[in-house]
């Protein structure tokens, strides 16, 4: 078991593919070639889509956007380890996982363009809407997985949050409940080293975020988040454990946000260039590409073709999002709840009343 061999308290972090593309053959999860190829193309697509989102925001064509550049493997490994019936509960920086799970890219753009239709995912896509209030998605995820356990559905819930998210009450409440009730939940903490400008060292005095799991009575593992193979292997083990009924796992993905926190942020005010350079060298795409090349299933030609495919695809999705009709007031909260709570309904009714010109007017 990886969680037994990689004890965060002993300073051990799981890595299978190093930054130069060298693989630890003993731990290689030997993913099928078609999955590996689809994974690399998905990461390439997400990187292209992410860059485009930032440019659209700079042109005033998209609202605030949280870039995920550098965190592609961190998100994709767990997504690949999931089955269709499993639930993905995300925060706001998980574009790669969304794309893999079947959320149409144009809907993701639409959401960041301020249209709630962007959260209206296809019926068979088990992904919850984005959750900006930090860690508030964690109790939801635990609730979803507890319901699945009670109903004996056999589905697992994978929930993403950041290093900053571990300081929230919702993190502690959610993980405590999950431990007590042995819910089928996989907690993925994307430790991208910063919560806006706050560095990880100021977030908590704990040596690792993974070890926080031990206080709740379940396993925790720290994983190189820029290594797709390691993220997949750790998540696979955790998903299997959850599905068997053996309860939750906390995975700390040790990664880095190469871009700004959001398009409203300027990371150069709190990070030094050298640090960004060091992490650029650990780029998750670069190392997976070398791994595929050494396997003989990727070359310069496939790279060129895929870059062009990703660019064309992204442009097409942007056009679809831009062609979508603007949102109507009564649709603002439509895709958040199956049944709208009365307080939101009151708010919508009052907004609609304000929009209707009064007769005396």
CA distance 90 to 257: 16
Q: Does 195 bind ligand TPP (CB under 6 A)?
A: yes
Comparison of 8 and 162: residue with beta carbon closer to ligand TPP: 162
Pick one of 118, 165, 259, 284: the residue that binds ligand TPP (CB under 6 A).
165
Say if residues 355 and 349 touch (Cβ distance below 8 Å): no
Distance CA(194)–CA(350), nearest Å, equals 40
- Tell me which stretch binds ligand TPP (CB under 6 A): 45-53, 140-148, 192-200, 344-352: 192-200
Does 50 contact ligand TPP by CB under 6 A?
Answer: no
Note whether 251 and 187 are within 8 A (CB): yes
3-state secondary structure of 222: strand
| Shortest Cβ 68–ligand TPP spacing (Å) | 8
Position 265 contacts ligand TPP (CB under 6 A): no
Please compute Rg for the chain using Cα positions.
21
Smallest distance, ligand TPP to C-beta of residue 265, A:
10
Number of residues that bind ligand TPP (CB under 6 A): 15
d(CA 40, CA 290): 11
Tell which residue, 219, 190, 211, has the closest CA to residue 95. 190
Which helix (DSSP H) or strand (DSSP E) does residue 161 occupy? strand 157-162
Q: Which residues are catalytic?
A: 257, 261, 270
* Burial degree of 150 (CB within 10 A; 0-12, 13-18, 19+): exposed
Provide, rounded to whole angstroms, the least separation between the CB of residue 98 and ligand TPP: 14
Q: Which is nearer to ligand TPP, 136 or 306 (CB)?
A: 136
Site for ligand TPP in 98-157 (CB under 6 A): 132-134
- C-beta of 137: minimal distance to ligand TPP in Å? 11
Q: Which stretch binds ligand TPP (CB under 6 A): 159-167, 179-187, 267-275, 296-304?
A: 159-167
H or E stretch covering 199: strand 198-199
Structure token pair of residue 193: 């080293």
196 touches ligand TPP (CB under 6 A): yes
Identity of the residue, 180 or 196, whose beta carbon is nearer to ligand TPP in the bound complex = 196
Residues that bind ligand TPP (CB under 6 A): 93, 132-134, 161-165, 190, 192, 194-196, 261
């Amino acid at each position: 078991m990886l969680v037994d061999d990689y004890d965060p308290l002993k300073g051990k972090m799981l890595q299978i593919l190093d930054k130069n593309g060298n693989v630890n053959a003993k731990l290689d999860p030997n993913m099928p070639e078609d999955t590996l190829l689809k994974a690399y193309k998905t990461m390439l697509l997400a990187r292209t889509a992410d860059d485009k989102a930032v440019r659209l925001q700079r042109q005033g064509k998209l609202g605030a956007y949280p870039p995920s550049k550098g965190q592609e493997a961190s998100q994709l490994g767990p997504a690949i380890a999931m089955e269709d019936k499993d639930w993905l509960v995300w925060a706001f920086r998980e574009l790669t996982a969304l794309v893999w799970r079947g959320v149409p890219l144009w809907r993701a753009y639409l959401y960041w363009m301020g249209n709630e239709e962007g959260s209206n995912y296809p019926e068979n896509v088990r992904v919850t809407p984005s959750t900006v209030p930090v860690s508030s998605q964690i109790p939801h995820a635990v609730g979803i997985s507890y319901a699945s356990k009670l109903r004996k559905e056999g589905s697992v819930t994978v929930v993403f949050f950041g290093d900053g998210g571990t300081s929230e009450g919702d993190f502690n409440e959610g993980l405590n409940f999950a431990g007590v009730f042995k819910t089928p939940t996989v907690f993925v903490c994307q430790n991208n080293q910063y919560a806006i400008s706050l560095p990880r060292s100021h977030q908590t005095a704990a040596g690792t975020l993974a070890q926080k799991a031990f206080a709740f009575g379940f396993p925790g593992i720290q994983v190189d988040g820029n290594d797709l193979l390691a993220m997949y292997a750790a998540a696979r083990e955790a998903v299997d454990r959850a599905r068997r009924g053996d309860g939750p796992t906390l995975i700390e993905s040790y990664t880095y946000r190469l871009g700004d926190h959001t398009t409203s942020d300027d990371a150069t005010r709190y990070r030094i260039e050298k640090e960004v350079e060091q992490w650029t060298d650990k780029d998750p795409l670069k190392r997976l590409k070398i791994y595929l090349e050494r396997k003989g299933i990727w070359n310069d030609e496939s790279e060129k073709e895929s870059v062009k495919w990703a660019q064309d695809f992204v442009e097409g999705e942007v056009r679809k999002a831009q062609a979508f009709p603007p949102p109507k007031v009564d649709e603002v909260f439509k895709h958040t709840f199956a049944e709208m709570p009365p307080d939101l309904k009151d708010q919508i009714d009052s907004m609609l009343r304000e929009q209707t010109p009064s007769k005396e007017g």
